[in-house]
């Protein structure tokens, strides 16, 4: 039983004490997060962002290079819409808890999310497997691309070669960024605890990382209020919402404000 006054004496979830012990004993932690960790921040998932005017579209009609080449203004506008939704959201206690954990032991934080909320909660060196919603890059640029003034509603394009600017996220049919994937795999192979938060575990290669960690000797803890494809990989499954559960798993720093 825990002597920590912040922890209720009867744990709200079976497995909480075991997970706390595993995390306390770990020398290094590999964390994989997915859309669920941002649910309590009100960040709409990829599919949730297809409401209102956007409800008529299939995500695959919008999040691919083909789609962008066919309808650049439409796809750019959808990303601007998503950027506005995420900008209005705030990190939640789960994001802050992970930032606090990194102050206590070596943590590699790998996310499938593109919302930047881990960084806004103070986590550093976050590995973004699927890119970042607020980043831009050139679509087949000339190498010397220079932004031209965009026509309102249209995506910016290069004044030298005409290449389109595109969001810095991984689209359907694209590979993960190589360095991010390599660093994530290396961290999974070397950590002695793997903490999986808020992912359905259905989208590869990210979904393979907890298994890779386990194959290299890590213990695995999953936090997800619903069953997930990664439950069978886990030593402990906590059927809990991340924002309620993570702050109970290790001591917190008490600061929950976005750094400047």
The strands making up 107-111's β-sheet, listed across from edge to edge, are 127-128, 107-111, 29-33, 193-197, 219-223, 236-238
Contact window for ligand APR (CB under 6 A) among 4-12, 29-37, 70-78, 251-259: 29-37
Q: Is 46 in the site for ligand APR (CB under 6 A)?
A: yes
Instruction: Pick the catalytic residue from 81, 125, 130, 186.
Output: 130
Among 15, 40, 100, 102, binds ligand APR (CB under 6 A): 40
Give the span between the Cα atoms of 231 and 239, in whole angstroms.
Answer: 10
Among 77, 106, 203, 211, binds ligand APR (CB under 6 A): 203
Query: Binding residue per annotation — 162?
Result: no
130 is catalytic: yes
Least Cα distance to 164 among 145, 186, 188, 184 occurs for 145
Q: Is 71 in the site for ligand APR (CB under 6 A)?
A: no
Give the span between the Cα atoms of 103 and 138, in whole angstroms.
Answer: 36
Dihedral angle computed from the Cα positions of residues 235, 215, 201 and 36, in that order, rounded to the nearest 10 degrees: 60
Among 177, 225, 239, 251, binds ligand APR (CB under 6 A): 225
Smaller CB separation from ligand APR, 22 or 209: 209
Among 241, 248, 250, 252, binds ligand APR (CB under 6 A): 241
Evaluate whether 238 touches 222 at the Cβ level (below 8 Å): yes
Distance from CA of residue 56 to its chain's centroid?
Answer: 26
Q: What residues are designated binding site?
A: 79, 82, 112-115, 142, 145, 158, 161, 198-200, 224-226, 242
């Amino acid at each position: 039983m825990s002597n920590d006054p912040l922890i209720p004496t009867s744990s709200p979830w079976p497995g909480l004490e075991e997970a706390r012990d595993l995390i306390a004993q770990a020398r290094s932690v590999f964390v994989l997060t997915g859309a669920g960790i941002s649910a309590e921040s009100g960040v709409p998932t990829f599919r949730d962002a297809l409401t209102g005017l956007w409800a008529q579209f299939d995500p695959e009609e919008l999040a691919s290079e083909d789609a962008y080449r066919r309808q650049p203004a439409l796809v750019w506008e959808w990303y601007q819409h998503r950027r506005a939704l995420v900008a209005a959201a705030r990190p939640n206690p789960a994001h802050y808890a992970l930032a606090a954990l990194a102050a206590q032991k070596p943590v590699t934080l790998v996310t499938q999310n593109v919302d930047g909320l881990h960084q806004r909660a103070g986590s550093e060196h976050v590995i973004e497997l699927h890119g970042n919603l607020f980043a831009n890059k050139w679509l087949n640029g000339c190498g010397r691309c220079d932004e031209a003034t965009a026509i309102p509603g249209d995506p910016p394009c290069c004044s030298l070669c005409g290449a389109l600017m595109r969001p810095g996220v991984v689209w359907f049919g694209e590979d993960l960024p190589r360095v991010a994937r390599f660093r994530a795999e290396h961290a999974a192979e070397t950590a002695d605890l793997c903490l999986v938060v808020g992912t359905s575990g259905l989208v590869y290669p990210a979904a393979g990382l907890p298994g890779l960690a386990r194959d290299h000797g890590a213990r695995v803890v999953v936090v997800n209020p619903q069953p997930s494809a990664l439950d069978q990989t886990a030593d402990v499954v906590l059927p809990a919402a991340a924002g309620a559960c993570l702050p109970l798993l290790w001591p917190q720093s008490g600061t929950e404000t976005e750094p400047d």
